[in-house]
Amino acid sequence: MDFSPSPSVVVTETPGALKHLVKQQTSTPLSLFSQVNLASRSPAIQASEVIPRGQGFGTIHGNVINNDQVDLIIPGNLELQWTVESQLYQPEGVTSGDQGYYGTHVFPVGGTDIDFSMIALDKVSGARRWVVRPGQIGQGGTPMVLNDMQNAGKVIYSGGLRGVFAVTEKGEVRWCTNTGFGIDTPATSDFDTHIKKRLWGINYHQPTDSVIAVYGDGTVLAFARETGELRAQYRVEGDPSVDNTGLNLPEPILEGAEKAIRKQFVPEGANLPEDARIFDTIIAVALGGDMVVSNYYATDPDSDRIWVAATLPDAADGIEDGVARFGALHALTLTREGDQFSFETECAVPFEGGSASTPAVLPGGDRIYTSDKDGNALAFDQRCELVWSVNVGDQILGSLAVSPYDNYVYASTGSGVFQIVDHGNSAELGWSANLDGVFYGGAALLPVAQLVSSALAEAGLSVPVQLQASNIEISTVAENALVLIAGLGFQMDPQRSEVFAPLVMSVTMIDRMTGEVINSTPAREESIAVIGIDNDGSVVIGNSPLRRGAVVGVTEILGNGLLGEALADLLPPLTGGVTKYAPSSRFDLAARDAVCYAARKVLAWEVGRDSAGYTWLDSPEASSYQALTGQAVEMLGLARAVGEISSDTYAGVSYLISDARESALTGDFRAAHSVLREACQQLD
């Protein structure tokens, strides 16, 4: 453990001449979206003392079931608070504990400051608290955060091909276990192994109290959560997938991207193999070519299932040529007999071309959601049988976001974000997010388009530069909004929607009722990670430029000429690390949203509790209610501190929240709803 401070600087601004194109509002409306029925419920999660509830992201996709959802509101007036550790390429984001944010990165170059496998950041300042040295070959996946059963607080789990470890938020090592793979070379001396056999992250298996590690070659390990004892090892039967990660772009563009990426993410004097291609490595991480497993996975706490999207053996496609063209959703089980633990494959669902999606599980395990390469959102039952399929018109990025409080699933693609209404045995498309409301358009964009077109032509790429708004990230579901990253840019490869080049980006909130924009704020950098949420509703993102690497790379090709300098003035330079977006004003509106949604939770329980079969304290509504009222109290304090509400209003609303809590504990939910609605109206 290294507790030394970071040599990198903290950046608190968003550079680039185009950030003024992002539409921002000072006052945001209260969404009318509301929960109607009782939530889908996981009895195991509700009863667990290990799995955090009602908090921010504890795994890469929020929680162990991967539904990219939080029981919190997102404040409507987010602004960039800081960007730190700019040399770290973070394709999987960070998780939130009580004291810090936790992440890893792709290029732990030996002999440099970034030679580490995990980092802890202070939540307020972004300062480095500690790192785990040295880096590991095959390190990857966002660290997992679980409750600490020995002391109050959290334990963080991460690792690589050499070992898996658990540390407390104070930086105390609980355990570190060798994987037994026998791979101990420096990470950046063997890029092929480092990327294609990389760890896709740690997850938690509730039935056996084990932490699970899944690797790119299909290897699966289980460790005892408390001691780190290696309990079982397995390999998903599959062969490396077809490598279709290459981009159809002119060689000068690719060379420029390589130069731009190296300048930002490879420290000066770093010793790398002569044939190392950093940009190609990043594409491989993003698109998962030549791997058996190319994404994260889900565990179902209410069964012993572990859901993994992986390939099938080469022979399954009828052409034995060393690569797999078929993939599958695999349902693994981990069972215990006495002191012995073992994995098995319970069932599998094949896909032609495989799946680029992380499986997501509905609480309770009745539905497992994923997607195929043809743009179909798919729902399966626990027997691996298809329940429904809905085509969204484009390949789905990452994972489907699933809300347990209604029947909605959200699909993010390179062309937009789509609401899917799950009717049980069938589903249909709802709204598509209106991204035209994110950026200003019109005649002001013509000079920008002309400049970009001329620069690309000079670099050897002739494509029509028609500036448009597009989605560039997996979305996250909050109580009041869907959060996404939008980009204003153009298609570098018109045949592939994901090869979209953003010139300016925004963190955008979408109304879950209508698909319309609530508000946006300029984003510092592109990300191929996820949109992480902290306990207070702040948005915390791991920066990982890919598409922008190609665009900024054009400035490397053009150099200091007039055209190159003009393009460089438009585009902010690449950055890595972590950026935090938090409210700096209108805390009163954030408090309003939290209180109003807490009132809606109590109302949903009051209406549906007779059919529940469990108590209020055992309900998902209670977990969400507690998170929302806690968030409201925090935002009220900030609103009073900056003069947005009076001391009398603060005292009155705080009293109503306390009164509602007492009413809920005594079972008078009608009274709890009434006083919370009054608090909501006072703040509206």
Label residue 225 by pLDDT band (50, 70, 90): very high
Predicted confidence (pLDDT) per residue in 551-606, tens digit: 999 999 998 888 989 999 999 999 999 999 999 899 999 999 999 999 999 999 99
Residue 337: per-residue pLDDT: 94
What is the rounded average pLDDT of the residues 667-676?
97
Overall average pLDDT of the 290-298 stretch: 92
Domain membership of residue 236 (yes or no) is: yes
Which has the higher per-residue pLDDT, 284 or 620? Answer: 620
Same domain, 629 and 533: no
The answer on 377 and 236 residing in a single domain is yes
Co-location of 246 and 133 in the same domain: yes
CA 264 to chain centre: 23
Whether residue 134 is preceded by a cis peptide bond, meaning omega within 30 degrees of 0, is yes
Q: How far apart are CA 611 and CA 255, in angstroms?
A: 62
Residue 477 lies in a domain: yes
pLDDT > 70 in the chain, percent? 98
pTM, two decimal places:
0.96
**pLDDT > 90? residue 111:** no
Whether residue 334 is contained in a domain is answered as yes
- Asked whether 412 and 421 are in contact (CB, 8 A), the reply is no
Q: Indicate whether 444 and 480 sit together in one domain.
A: yes
pLDDT of residue 464: 79
Q: Are residues 291 and 168 part of one domain? A: yes
Cα–Cα distance measured from residue 586 to residue 592, given in angstroms and rounded to the nearest whole number? 10
Are 530 and 59 in contact by the 8 Å Cβ rule? The answer is no
* Chosen domain end from 535, 564, 583: 583
| Ranges 42-56, 491-505, 557-571, most confident | 42-56
The yes-or-no verdict on residue 501 having pLDDT over 70 is yes
The one-letter amino acid at 26: T
For the chain, first and last CA: distance in Å? 48
Are residues 657 and 519 both part of a single domain? Answer: no
63 pLDDT above the threshold of 70: yes
Residue 1 lies in a domain: no
Could you say which of 583, 608, 627 is where a domain stops? 583
The C-alpha atoms of residue 568 and residue 18 are separated, in whole angstroms, by: 11
Same domain, 44 and 67: yes
Q: Give the span between the Cα atoms of 66 and 402, in whole angstroms.
A: 8
Q: How much is the average pLDDT of 73-77?
A: 94
Together in a domain, 607 and 579? no
Q: For residue 98, give the nearest of 656, 630, 666, 639 by alpha carbon.
A: 630
pLDDT tens track for 386-410: 999 999 998 888 889 999 998 899 9
In this structure, are 569 and 594 located in the same domain? Answer: no
Q: Torsions phi, psi of 379, nearest 5?
A: -120, 130
Task: Indicate whether 12 belongs to any domain.
Answer: no
Closest-CA residue to 299 (of 398, 400, 203, 224): 203
Comparison of pLDDT for 415 and 517, the residue scoring more: 517
* pLDDT category of residue 151 using cuts at 50, 70 and 90: confident
- Of residues 349 and 541, the one with the higher pLDDT is 541
pLDDT in the model for residue 289: 76
Q: Give the pLDDT of residue 244.
A: 64
CB 287 within 8 A of CB 496: no
Residue 400 CA, chain-centre distance (Å), reads 11
Q: How confident is the model at residue 155 (pLDDT cuts 50, 70, 90)?
A: very high
| Mean pLDDT value across residues 286-306 | 89
DSSP 324-348: B-EEEEEEEEEEEETTEEEEEEEEE
Q: How confident is the model at residue 353 (pLDDT cuts 50, 70, 90)?
A: low
Helix (H) or strand (E) holding 471: strand 468-471
Query: How many domains, the chain?
Result: 2
Q: Has residue 533 got a pLDDT over 80?
A: yes
With bands split at pLDDT 50, 70 and 90, how would you rate the model's confidence at 273? confident
pLDDT in tens, 169-181: 999 999 999 999 9
Domain boundary among 583, 601, 636: 583
pLDDT at residue 534 greater than cutoff 90? yes
Task: Dig out the tokens for 147 from the structure.
Answer: 């409750």
- pLDDT of 541: 97
- pLDDT value at 304 more than 80: yes
Is 287 a residue whose pLDDT tops 90? Answer: no
What are the structure tokens assigned to 575, written together? 């950055």
505 with 639, same domain: the answer is: no
Is the alpha carbon torsion for 502, 508, 512, 518 positive or negative? negative
In a shared domain, residues 560 and 606: no
Domain check: are 528 and 603 in the same one?
A: no
pLDDT for res 246? 65
Q: Which CATH number goes with the domain that contains 387?
A: 2.130.10.10
- Residue 389 tokens, joined: 């399929």
Please check whether residue 124 lies inside any domain of the structure. yes
Beta bridge partners of 468: 489
The answer to whether 422 and 381 have CB atoms below 8 angstroms apart is no
How many percent of the chain have pLDDT more than 90?
75
Range(s) of the domain holding residue 27:
19-583
Measured CA to CA in angstroms, residue 524 lies from 36, 366, 544, 548 at distances of 37, 39, 11, 12
CATH number, domain at 645? 1.20.120
CA 629 to chain centre: 24
pLDDT value at position 493?
Answer: 73
Q: Does the residue 545 lie in any domain? A: yes
Q: Give the C-alpha distances (Å, rounded to integers) separating 397 from 68, 372, 375, 475, 554.
A: 13, 10, 9, 9, 26
What pLDDT score was predicted for residue 274? 74
User: How does the average pLDDT of the chain come out, rounded?
Assistant: 92
What's the CA gap between 281 and 192, in Å, rounded?
9
pLDDT at 355 over 70: no
For residue 283, tell me if it sits in a domain: yes
Mean pLDDT of 465-492: 92
